[in-house]
Amino acid sequence: MTTPTTSNTRIAKNTAMLYIRMLILMGVNLFAMRIVLEALGEEDFGIYSLVGGIAAFLGFINASMAAAAMRYQSYEKGLEVNRRNERGVFSSILLVQGILALFILIFGEIFGVWYVANQLNAPESRISAAQIVFQFALFQFIAKTLSTPYTSSILANEKMDIFAYLSLIEGLLQLGAAYATAYLPGNKLTNYALLMFCATAISQFTYIIIAKTQFQECRYSSSWQWCTVRSILQYSGWNLLGAFSSVCIGVGVNMVLNYFFGLIVNAARGIAMQVNAAVSSLATNFQQALNPQIIKSYAANDSAHLNSLIINGTRLCFFMLAALAVPCGIFMKPLLEIWLTEVPNYTVGFCQLILVATMFTPLSGCLMTAAMASDNIKKYQITVASINLLNIPLTIIAFKFSTNPYWAMYIMIALAFFATMARLIITRSLIKFNVRQYLWRAFSLPIVQIAILTAVFWALSPLWSNTSFSRITTAFVLTFIAEIIYIYFVCMTSAERAMLNKFIPFKKKQSA
């Protein structure tokens, strides 16, 4: 079992690798989306966002299995060496994923094809192209499903450098797909769907090859056991509820928006989702580095280290997200105007509101991982999934009485808060956890500290509205720097600053 110091060092190194990956991918993805939006136009971009989202809806099944694969492989590595059966667990996961890929294919060909043909609110002339887009998107998710055991093995072994390099390859392939779409002749929508499928297939095949050469457990063998398969299926079955509810927030609400408002609002929300993914990746990367350690600490029954990871991890994830989300939210309108040639209606509002909703993600991320480390997740998943699934009926009701599409986001924010509280209560029943310390140190105090600074920046925002590009850029950079300084000296504790200083290069040189 590694010591907390070794664990923290590994987390820091892995986080650094994931940040380098994130910064490059953020630039690649945002630039690629600008190219794609210009090449496809608002209507076709809305079709791709919606139809690709339908395939993502089917991918929620794989998301539950990916979480299960990560849990079981990390848990196995947290056990004593003489109790491990890593190859047996990997083989069990690989068997289940093969069956799952077949199920996704059959279900997608029945449900997805029917929806695109009969329910999609799009011009009749674009339906055939939308069907082709759906087929390529569906096979993208099948490729990801088959590579999940190998990707999870890379993460469970905490080889974030390998994961980062392979992710960069995938991002560059997707950028190439965007460029090619702008210049290739023919139907640009179907061309883009085909190229994105090729990019995904190549990258996922690379994950498989690298994992098989690096980790000995990544070999299928007959050592799998039915009891392990059954345990994985039971765990995944309950986890499926959580994955399904998460997809409903995105895809389900997107369908409702399409029904009431059409493709332009879908395009606006699609851009907002891309912005949110780029900004939230700051916290997601750190969370991804934390997850294996949380699960291994639970498997080793190290409650003290587990509590430290949950509380300190939550605080740092929240501050990392806030450092970029607050300036982006305040400067959203000029940033979008700089980034996009033409900003669709409602895009600014959707982007700002989705960042508010996303601020609850780091507040519950470590709680979620700790709860999922236990194999007793039935109560957790039923409760949280039930809250999240309320997004669709409440959004439909809201649109019956209002023509304001932002109501979808208001409801999402409210339910995100209630879901976080539910996670806290249920996690306390699953593990030994100091709720009072979490509520003060990891929830209330960080929110108040960031809210105060946000209010100050928002009050000053009229000073740089409707000004030149250089002045807006300068104001954004100064706001970002001011927030970093505020978080470091005001929000972080002396112990957190001391730990952070160990991994700042110039600090190391000075101490040497």
Secondary structure (H, E, C), 22-60: HHHHHHHHHHHHHHHHHHHHHHHHHHHHHHHHHHHHHHH
Give the relative orientation of helices 303-330 and 469-486 as an angle to the nearest 10 degrees.
Answer: 160
CB 387 within 8 A of CB 419: yes
At 413 the pLDDT is: 92
Q: Which two tokens stand for residue 445?
A: 């105090």
- Closest alpha carbon to 161 in 116, 123, 210: 210
Tell me whether residue 177 is exposed, middle or buried, using C-beta atoms within 10 angstroms of its C-beta: 0 to 12, 13 to 18, 19 or more: buried
Supply the pLDDT for residue 394.
Answer: 93
Q: Are the beta carbons of 350 and 406 closer than 8 angstroms? A: yes
pLDDT in tens, 417-432: 999 999 888 888 888 7
Q: What percent of the chain has pLDDT over 70?
A: 87
Report the distance separating Cα 395 and Cα 21, nearest Å: 36
pLDDT of residue 448: 93
According to the model, what pLDDT value does residue 80 have? 58
pLDDT score, position 512: 43
Three-state SS at 406? coil
Residues sharing a CB contact under 8 Å with residue 325, sequence separation 6 or more, in sequence order: 279, 280, 355, 358, 359
158: left (phi over 0), alpha (psi -120 to 50) or beta: left
The letter for the amino acid at 204 is Q
| pLDDT for res 377 | 82
pLDDT score of 153: 86
pLDDT at 173 over 80: yes
Helix axes 263-299, 360-373, angle to 10 degrees: 40
Q: 107, 21, 117: which is closest to 62 by C-alpha?
A: 107
Measure the N-to-C terminal CA separation of the chain; round to a whole number of Å: 30
The helix (run of H) or strand (run of E) holding residue 173 is: helix 160-183
Interatomic CA distance for residues 87 and 329, integer angstroms: 46
How does pLDDT run across 127-142, given as a tens digit for each residue?
A: 888 888 888 888 888 8
**pLDDT digit string (tens) for 269-313?**
888 888 887 777 766 767 777 788 888 888 877 788 888 888 888
pTM over 0.75: no
- Token representation of residue 432: 């030994």
- Choose among 382, 335, 372: nearest CA to 355: 335
CA distance 72 to 91: 12
